[in-house]
Every structure is written in C-alpha cells, then in structure tokens.
C-alpha cells in the first residue's frame, strides 16, 4: 500500500538552501509546504552543551545520527545527511562573491559569464544575511560593495588579530574582518557568541544552523517536515514533462512506498545529491536522467583550490580566543584590468605553529614545572607565526562531473554518486603563474611586517566549497536551470543553491547558495497563492 503525501510545494532536502526556500515561501504565500529529509534530527540546541562536552572529553561526534550508513559516494562530497545538512557544523564564514565573479568571460576572456549580475543577486545577499544573522565589517567599497550595513557589528578582534591589522596597514592591501553567521548581539531569540572555539558545535545558539528555521516554521504550522525518508526518483505526469510525484522510501518502514505529490518540486539536496537524484530518475522520455536533455546534469562540478603559508613574525603573539576568526581582503578578487588572469582573496589568522607547550626540549630532555613554562614563553617570543591563505578562482571544466557508480550501491540497490573534479585547461595552464603571483604577495606581506615566509604549499586535491552539477544559464544547450533555478526541461521543477552556480569565485559559497535559493523562491511565489 503506497502512502501518499500531498502539498503545494515539495522540497527535497533539509539543509540551508531548503531552509531559505521554505522560510520565504511560508512568509510570502499560503502554500502548503512539505520538506523531505533522508536523515533525521540530531542534537538540538538544548542538547549541544552535553554533546560539546563529550566531544572535548572523548572526541565523540557532537551531532549523533548525522549520516546514513551506505548512503555515500566517491569524491569530494559531504557525508552529512541530517536535518540542517552540512550547515549543522559549518564554520559560519559568510563572504559574498565579488561582482567580477559573474562576468569572467566579459571582463577577462576566461571561463563563463553567469546569466545574472552581482547587482541582480545583491538584494538576496542582504536578505540571506538578515535571515541567518551575519556579523561583519564593511570593507572598502571598491572591493567589498554593499547597499546596506550588516545586520550586526563584527566580532571583536583578538589581541593577535589587532596586532596583525597594524601590520597590514603598512601595506596598500586593505584587510577587514571576516563576516560570520554568529551573533554579536541577541538576534532572533538566540544568544551572543562567547568565542569558545568549538564552532563546529555552538553551545549557545549564537551560530546559525538551519534547524532553527525548520523548528520555527513547524511551531507556526507552516511546514510539514518528513524525516528518515529517502527520495529515490521523480516521476513524470503521463504524456507530459511535468513532475507528478517523488517516489520515496520510509527508512522505518521500507516495505511501504511513499509518494510525495505537489504542484511545485524543489531539489535542495546539495551539490552532490541533487544531480544524483536527477540521474537516478531516468525514464523512457529522458533516458539520461531528468532535466538532462542536453547532457549537462552532473557536469561543470566546481570548487576551490587554495595556496597557504606560514609567516614568521618579529612580534609576540599569544594563543587567543576564537582562533577561527581572520582578517580578509578581496583586493585581488577585484583586481581591475589584468595582463594575465589570476584572482584570489587573502586571509590572515593566528597560528599555533611553534607555540604550544612541550614536555621535552630540543635535545629530547624531559622538562618539569616552571621549566616547561619558561621554555614555552621563550619559544612564543621568538617563534610567533601567522597563517595566510588565498582561495583562488578555479575555472570549471565540462568533464568535471558527477556520474552514477554501478559498482557502489546503497542497501536499496541504487548506484551511488561518483565525483571526478577537473579544472578547465585554462586553469591548468595558469597554475604556475597563479602560484608565483600569490606567493609573491605572501612575501610582500611578510616583508611589510619585518618577517619572512616560513613555508608555502597547496593542496593536492580539489575540495573546498564544492558546487555545480546543475548550473544556470539562459541557453539550455549549456545549462540545466535558468537564472531562477527552474529546470529548462520541466516547468514545475526547481534546483536550489549550490548545484546551480556557474563558478566558485574566490570565497566561501554558502551565502551565495542562500541568495540564489531566495531568488528561486521569489520566482516560485508567482505561481502560488499570496499570503
């Protein structure tokens, strides 16, 4: 016997993009909304003090039940499947993309232009910051434009970052405080950040997590949240390209099929599982997967590479509080005309290299009592370091893709996703130029402080801030969705957030994913009854 769940809107996925869509639709329409999440609830805010304590004492996962055994793929993807998604334990950094990110082809002759401009997205950036609760500092307008102030003032600088800011002011590179999804004043009924340095699990509720939005919407009776229910495929209406229902399995009653029927479907399952669901939904009319008439689903997967280093400094820095905080610059993400392409951000934060206490000296001799403290003080004074990192723009290739892997299946027999990232040839050709340019700027900063580079390096694999797979565009031949996230092939099917990006820019993508989700929700509102 099939259980049927009906609503006006069915949102598949329970992460931050789903929260943005559900929240806006609940406020602006009277539509009935169902959110379907394969995972389950994890530690509530009231439970996080205890799970944080056990994490510190025993190394336990502070978010129990945050994944589904066997429901995992190969390559760069998050394993978290839970109400709230990977943003349950995100760092909370919320920079915006730069205006240049949306016009790479027009400005620099590389990559692709987005079908939308930064000006189109800016109101939704502001809305996302207000919904999440972002604390930040306005940087110079030419490289940090915004139309309105941040919802909250920035987190206070630690002693170390204040000293670093004095150093950066000796250069022509402007730095300002990284914006964070953390409260610096009471906001939306949540407490203030205490800078306790366990940001993956915030015990006060100062850091935004999407479960807060879902809890509020459920308390108001505006959504139906269905958990532990895995959507396996989407099915079409007879003789139509419209989506009729989502076929799912209740993990607590796997022998009882579930159908979600709605007028509008939204896939908000993140960069991996959104493309995966479309590919799994292949049928006679769409043999290569839904929304995939032109073969672009799962392609142009993108993310970040970065270059990092450590700078030895002639100043005394101390182990501080909120060590995740950083000074940020987008000066080189908005570089003006270029002879040869390279764009990146810069981030500076304190480093513990050479500054932790030790039990043995350089000769391996065991130390005791005050000797340990004297050794620590001496090394802190002579070995202070700062960490520097640059996320740089990596151009995506069409063959950078997600595919179904028949050699890896879940317990239902469904093939799991496989992601093989590949940068475009232009980025490969620019790799040495990019490395030399960025490390040269590291050296410039080190010299301004009277210091020297200790080391530099780059990761061997693409991983940070992944997205793509259902990229937006005006031309269906080269894209999966339009500028509002509506699939070209199915008028009542939207994809929200990370999968729709054209490229990853030079910054963390979460705020952009949220802004694009809100933009999509506004388009959905046009066909739903107004509140």
Residue 531 located in a structural domain: no
Q: Does 213 have pLDDT greater than 90?
A: yes
| Structure confidence by residue, pLDDT tens digits, 15-39 | 999 999 999 999 999 999 999 999 9
Which residues form the domain of 87?
3-525
| Structure confidence by residue, pLDDT tens digits, 197-208 | 888 899 999 999
User: Residue 335's pLDDT band (boundaries 50, 70, 90)?
Assistant: very high
| Structure confidence by residue, pLDDT tens digits, 72-112 | 999 888 888 999 999 998 999 999 999 999 999 999 999 99
What is the domain count for the chain? 1
Residues paired with 423 in a beta bridge: 396
Q: Does 336 have pLDDT greater than 90?
A: yes
Higher local confidence (pLDDT), 370 or 354: 370
Percent of the chain residues past pLDDT 70, beyond the cut: 97
Looking up residue 273, the CATH number of its domain turns out to be 3.50.50.60
Q: Does 354 have pLDDT greater than 60?
A: no
Residue 241 located in a structural domain: yes
Give mean pLDDT, residues 459-469.
81
| Structure confidence by residue, pLDDT tens digits, 479-501 | 999 999 999 999 999 999 999 99
Residues paired with 358 in a beta bridge: none
Residue 530 located in a structural domain: no
- Per-residue confidence (pLDDT) for residue 520, from 0 to 100: 98
Give mean pLDDT, residues 377-399.
84
Residue 368 located in a structural domain: yes
Closest C-alpha to 307, from 240, 364, 389: 389
Question: Any idea which residue has 């609940």 for tokens?
Answer: 26
Q: Which of 202-206, 227-231, 360-364, 439-443 is least confident?
A: 360-364
Q: Does 173 have pLDDT greater than 80?
A: yes
User: Residue 260's pLDDT band (boundaries 50, 70, 90)?
Assistant: very high
CA distance readout (Å), 41 to 84, 218, 312, 510 = 8, 13, 45, 21
Q: Does 353 have pLDDT greater than 60?
A: no
User: Residue 356's pLDDT band (boundaries 50, 70, 90)?
Assistant: low
Q: Is-contact 481 494, C-beta < 8 A?
A: yes
- Per-residue confidence (pLDDT) for residue 320, from 0 to 100: 72
Rounded distance, CA 366 to CA 387, Å?
30
- Per-residue confidence (pLDDT) for residue 196, from 0 to 100: 86
Residue 148 located in a structural domain: yes
Contacts 24+ apart (CB under 8 A), 190-193: 190/133, 193/135, 193/155, 193/322
- Per-residue confidence (pLDDT) for residue 388, from 0 to 100: 95
Rounded distance, CA 100 to CA 184, Å?
30
Residue 245 located in a structural domain: yes
DSSP 87-129: GGS---B-PPPPGGGGBHHHHHSSS-B-SS-HHHHHHHHHHHH
- Per-residue confidence (pLDDT) for residue 362, from 0 to 100: 77
Residue 283 located in a structural domain: yes
- Per-residue confidence (pLDDT) for residue 459, from 0 to 100: 75
Residue 57 located in a structural domain: yes
| Structure confidence by residue, pLDDT tens digits, 143-158 | 999 999 999 999 999 8
């Amino acid at each position: 016997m099939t259980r049927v769940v009906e609503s006006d809107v069915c949102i598949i996925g329970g992460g931050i993009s789903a929260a943005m869509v559900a929240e806006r639709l609940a406020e602006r329409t009277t539509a009935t909304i169902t959110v379907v999440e394969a995972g389950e609830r994890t530690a509530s805010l009231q439970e996080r003090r205890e799970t944080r304590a056990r994490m510190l004492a025993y190394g336990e996962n502070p978010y129990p039940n945050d994944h589904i055994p066997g429901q995992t793929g190969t390559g760069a993807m998050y394993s978290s499947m839970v109400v709230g998604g990977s943003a349950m334990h995100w760092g909370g950094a919320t920079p915006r993309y730069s205006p240049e990110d949306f016009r790479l082809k027009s400005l620099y002759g590389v990559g692709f232009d987005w079908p939308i401009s930064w000006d189109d997205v800016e109101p939704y950036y502001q809305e996302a910051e207000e919904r999440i609760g972002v604390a930040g500092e306005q940087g110079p307008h030419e490289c940090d434009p915004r139309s309105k102030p941040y919802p909250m003032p920035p987190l206070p600088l630690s002693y170390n970052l204040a000293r670093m800011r004095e150093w950066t002011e000796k250069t022509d590179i402007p730095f300002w405080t990284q914006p964070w999804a953390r409260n610096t004043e009471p906001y939306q009924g949540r407490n203030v950040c205490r800078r306790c340095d366990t940001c993956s699990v915030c015990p006060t509720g100062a850091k935004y997590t999407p479960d807060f939005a879902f809890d509020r919407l459920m308390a108001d009776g505006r959504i139906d949240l269905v958990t532990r229910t895995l959507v396996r495929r989407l099915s079409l209406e007879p003789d139509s390209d419209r989506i009729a229902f989502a076929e799912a399995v209740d993990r607590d009653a796997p022998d009882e099929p579930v159908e979600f029927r709605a007028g509008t479907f939204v896939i908000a399952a993140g960069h991996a599982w959104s493309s995966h669901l479309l590919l799994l939904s292949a049928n006679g009319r769409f043999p290569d997967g839904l929304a995939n008439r032109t073969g672009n689903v799962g392609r142009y997967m993108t993310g970040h590479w970065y270059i990092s280093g450590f700078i030895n400094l002639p100043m005394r820095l101390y182990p501080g509080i909120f060590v995740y905080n950083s000074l940020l610059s987008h000066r080189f993400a908005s570089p003006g005309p270029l002879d040869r392409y390279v764009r990146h951000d810069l981030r500076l934060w304190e480093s513990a290299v050479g500054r932790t206490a030790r039990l043995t000296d350089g000769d391996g001799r065991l130390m005791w009592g005050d000797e340990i403290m004297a050794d620590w003080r001496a090394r802190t004074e002579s070995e202070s370091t700062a960490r520097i990192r640059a996320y740089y723009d990596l151009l995506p290739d069409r063959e950078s893709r997600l595919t179904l892997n028949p050699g890896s299946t879940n317990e239902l027999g469904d093939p799991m996703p496989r992601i093989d990232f590949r940068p475009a040839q232009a980025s490969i050709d620019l790799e040495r130029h990019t490395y030399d340019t960025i490390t040269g700027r590291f050296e410039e900063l080190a010299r301004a402080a009277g210091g020297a580079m200790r080391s530099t390096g780059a990761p061997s694999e693409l991983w940070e801030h992944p997205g793509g797979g259902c990229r937006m565009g005006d031309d269906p031949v080269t894209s999966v969705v339009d500028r509002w996230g509506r699939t070209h092939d199915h008028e009542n099917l939207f994809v929200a957030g990370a999968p729709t990006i054209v490229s990853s820019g030079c910054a963390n993508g979460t705020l952009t994913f949220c802004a694009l989700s809100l933009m999509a929700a506004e388009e959905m509102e046009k066909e739903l009854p107004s509140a």
